Structure 1
Amino acid sequence: MLTAYLDCFSGVSGDMLLGALIDSGVPETVLHRVVAALHLDGVTLRVEHPIVQGFAATRVSVVCQHRHDAHHDHHPHRHLAEISALLHRADLSPRVRDTSLAVFTRLAEAEAAVHGTTLNRIHFHEVGAVDALVDIVGTVAGIEALNIGRLICSPLPLTRGWVNCAHGDIPLPGPAVCRLLEGAPVYGEHLEQELVTPTGAALVAELADDFGPMPPIRLTHTGYGAGSLQRADGRPNLLRLLLGQGVEVAEVQQVEVIETHVDDWNPEFWPHVSARLMAEGALDVCLIPMQMKKGRPGFLLRVIADPASRDALTTVLFSETSAIGLRMRREQRITLPRETVSVTTPWGELTAKKIVTPGGTVIAPEYEVCRQVAEAHRVPLREVYAAVERHSSPRQV
């Protein structure tokens, strides 16, 4: 399955997505067909290949010949119903049409919530609607053209300052952007300039399967989409798209270690907390007694996890313990190959771990499985363990 990773180190916008897709191999004809299918009068695309801060990239601009024509008679805005009708009239695949409409609906819902109105009353101003139509439908069509099966997006940078729009000056990050990115990982950027646009936020909110670090892939291509503005801090205003075939890894070899010291928390809650941590993706957890400052007994609470699970795990720790601060670091680990197998015992088929060590293969019993058998058959737990360990020909589960 082809996996795409959006590296949004300088934010995301619709035109940057189009540029990154073309730079990653989408033929320009795909986007030109989108414009033709939408029947947008006087709208064309301009595709350029600039060098941005030393990086070769692709920039896509939507050119509307009526933008500066004061005498051109046109409707000042489009409502969601008009966008829907336009998409259904267009010669688009069902997937492109339906996904594009889902993006527009997300955008309309966010705008309606921000402005305190209803979904049917919110409107898209025409210049913005034309750009958004091409950006949204073109991005969805480009993803379909590349046959991307999974899209992961990096955390997004949010800035401060002000930006002018149809409603006047609004603070950054834009209110609609904040609404669209609820639940997504974001971080602050010391820049008074818009990096994440509402169209870009709506696209990643709808299209991304997940947010976080780059997943394991066999990298095949990298593309760069150039933004229309230069960053005030001189950094390259680019969106990077990395493509590759997803690869399965038996174990995460880079882990996040999360720790905290607590001396005012009831350790009776630990079984509940540890269960919640494991359910949220922790690979291992432990609670270690220790002597803290002022002679108080306390605990070191440590969690080892896939880095992608960090946000969920920190939420559990802050909500379920008395911790007011956490330490986090990345560490490397090495693990032995393992798989789940089935072994035959006097009490039936039981699951166990088959571990390949430098000294040979080891069959390791699963505690909960063996405990349940011992209780059900009223036999010592050690006998169940011994029966599993001496089995020499396990079957893979």
Structure 2
Amino acid sequence: MKILYYDCFCGISGDMNLAALIDLGVPKENLVEGLSKINLNSEYEIKIEKSEKLGITGTRVDVILKDKLDDEIHISDKDLHGYNHEHNHSHEHHHRNLKDIEGIINSSDLSDKVKKLSLDMFMKVAKAEAKVHGKPLYEVHFHEVGAIDSIVDMVGAAICLDYLNVDKIIASPVQVGGGFVKCAHGLMPVPAPATVEILKNIPINAGIVQFETTTPTGAAILAANVEEFTRNVDFSIKKIAYGIGHRDLEIPNVLRVYLGEKESPEKVGEHYILETNIDDMNPELYGYVDEKLFEVGALDVFKTSIFMKKGRPGIKLSVLVNEKCEKNVLDIIFEETTSIGVRKFKVGKIMLNREFSKVKTEYGDITIKKSYYKGKLLKYKPEYEECKTIAKEKNISIDKIYKAIYKEDIK
């Protein structure tokens, strides 16, 4: 099992996250190429370089905005305060709302997986901003989500996480810092209103320095992607990397990340089956419902033809879930189908150990999922979404891509 661990002893911001993941091994060319697909290159430049804080060497990322002041470097809201709208420059920002963001991402050539990861993170910030400002979700025009640097940070995070393709993301409790921050609501204690809203139900630490160390963007990256928050590092650390921040503090202003491996048993936890019998729904809607269920985290969705009372033909809709996605799955079932009741029962799930790796082919590097039994490679298969994207880009049969992968010597 491949694990990514965020050690947030000095918090996290969007640029520190990008820097840490590049330092961990994501090629910067991969990030730049992915970001070019959102067609906003005319609005910014991204600068990636080696840097250090208090003797710790890592990678630093700067988002430089393009406008009339070509020679002025933009210091983003995350570098000053996650909520500070009064920046020390005269840039005019696009105050895009959530609908604008969804349009930019959905109309891009990014893979479906990267689109979903990006939108999940934006939704975390959008919901927090809407609640803090007391407005409907799509009526809030908020700087943190609308600013170009936040778009780069969150879409960039999705691109990097997709490249790493780990089995599990874990994080330490999150250091939010201390002191006060100037924001749209006046002078507020750290954490800022949106940050603390996003970090609900996530363990935090505070007060290590008198400065805001975790921004709304950084908090959203964790909230949308991390499965477990713990100080317990019970895996073998294979690589350590550092994302360098922009502030000089009493402690190193860095985000530390680990890439690790852990042997996992074939039996993996307990899950639940949610199922319901349906005999009065338009069959054309099942495909749409399937997509929605997978979007909210369903582990599997399948349908069985059945005969119900009085000989009526029907469909038994079965959804495999864990505790994290159960509520969202129930919402979809009740809101998008004609079901008025769901059965729930616990099931054990046994699965092979898996790992992901890249295979070089004539069509580029493609991710494959390898499955092991008793420590030996038993089978492997390519990631469908990547193959689909390449087939569309190169206008070739997806079968050719699969054949190119299977002819390689996989070890």
TM-score range, shorter chain: 0.5 to 0.7
Instruction: Give the structure 2 partner of residue 115 of structure 1.
Output: 133
Q: State the secondary structure of the residue aligned to 1:58.
A: strand
Alignment of 1:1-397 (within 5 A): 1-40=1-40, 41-66=42-67, 68=69, 76-125=94-143, 129-166=147-184, 168-231=186-249, 234-248=250-264
| Higher CA-based Rg | 1
In the aligned structure 2, how far is the partner of 1:194 from the partner of 1:38?
30
CA-CA distance at 1:80 after TM superposition: 0.1
Q: Secondary structure at the match of 1:235?
A: coil
1: CA distance, partners of 2:132 / 2:9: 26
Alpha carbons of 1:155 and 1:149: their partners in 2 closer, same or farther (altered >3 Å)?
A: same
Classify the secondary structure of the residue corresponding to 1:92. coil
Match of 1:373 in 2: none
Q: CA deviation at 1:73?
A: 10
Distance in 2, matches of 1:73 and 1:187, equals: 34
Q: What residue number does 2:302 align with?
A: none
SS at match of 2:22: helix
Indicate conservation of the 8 Å contact 1:160/1:191, yes or no.
yes
CA distance in 1, matches of 2:43, 2:95: 16
Cα drift, residue 203 of structure 1: 0.7
Instruction: Tell me if the contact between 1:221 and 1:244 (Cα under 8 Å) persists in the aligned partners.
Output: yes
> What SS class does the counterpart of residue 81 from structure 1 fall into?
helix
AA in 1 matched with 2:135: T
Kindly tell me: are residues 118 and 248 of structure 1, through their superposed partners in 2, closer, same or farther at Cα, counting changes over 3 Å? same
Residues 73, 188 of structure 1: alpha-carbon distance in 2 compared, 3 angstrom cutoff: closer
**Secondary structure of residue in 1 paired with 2:62:** strand
Per-residue deviation, residues 206-254 of structure 1 (Å, max 9, x unmatched): 10011012442222111100112222xx21001011001122489xxxx
State whether residues 177 and 190 of structure 2, in contact with CA within 8 Å, keep that contact through their aligned partners in structure 1: yes
Cα 1:176/1:153, change in 2 over 3 Å: same
User: Could you say if the C-alpha distance between residues 25 and 187 of structure 1 is closer, same or farther in structure 2, counting changes exceeding 3 Å?
Assistant: same
Match of 1:184, SS state, is coil
1:74 offset after TM fit, Å? 6.6
Question: For 2:27 and 2:139, how far apart are their aligned partners in 1?
Answer: 37
Equivalent-residue separation in structure 2 for 1:7 and 1:248 (angstroms): 22
- 1:3 alignment partner AA: I
Q: Retained in 1: the 8 A contact 2:47–2:64?
A: yes
Measure the CA separation in 1 of the matches of 2:26 and 2:67: 28
Contact 1:5 1:214 in 2 (8 A): no
1:137, CA displacement in angstroms? 0.9
2: CA distance, partners of 1:169 / 1:64: 27
Shift of 1:163: 2.1
- TM-score, scaled relative to structure 2: 0.56
TM-score normalised according to structure 1 size: 0.58
SS state at 2:63 partner: strand
Which amino acid letter does the alignment assign opposite residue 42 of structure 1?
A: E
AA aligned to 2:65 is C
- Cα distance, 1:67 vs structure 2: 7.5
Distance in 1 separating the partners of 2:246 and 2:146? 15
Q: Cα offset for 1:120?
A: 0.8
Give the letter for the 1:87 counterpart.
I
Cα distance in 1 between the residues matched to 2:219 and 2:129:
12
Please give the alpha-carbon distance, in whole angstroms, between the structure 2 residues aligned to 1:235 and 1:108: 31
- Whole-Å Cα distance in 2 between the matches of residues 141 and 194 of structure 1? 26
SS of 1:159's equivalent?
Answer: coil
Q: Partners in 1 of 2:179 and 2:91 — Cα distance?
A: 35
Which residue number corresponds to residue 380 of structure 2?
Answer: none
Give 1:44 deviation, angstroms. 1.3
AA in 1 matched with 2:210: E
Contact 2:97 2:145 in 1 (8 A): no
SS state at 1:199 partner: helix
**Structure 1: stretches of 5+ with no match in the other structure:** 251-397
Distance 1:121 1:170, change over 3 A: farther
Aligned CA RMSD, in angstroms, stands at: 2.4
Structure 2 unmatched runs, 5+: 73-89, 267-411
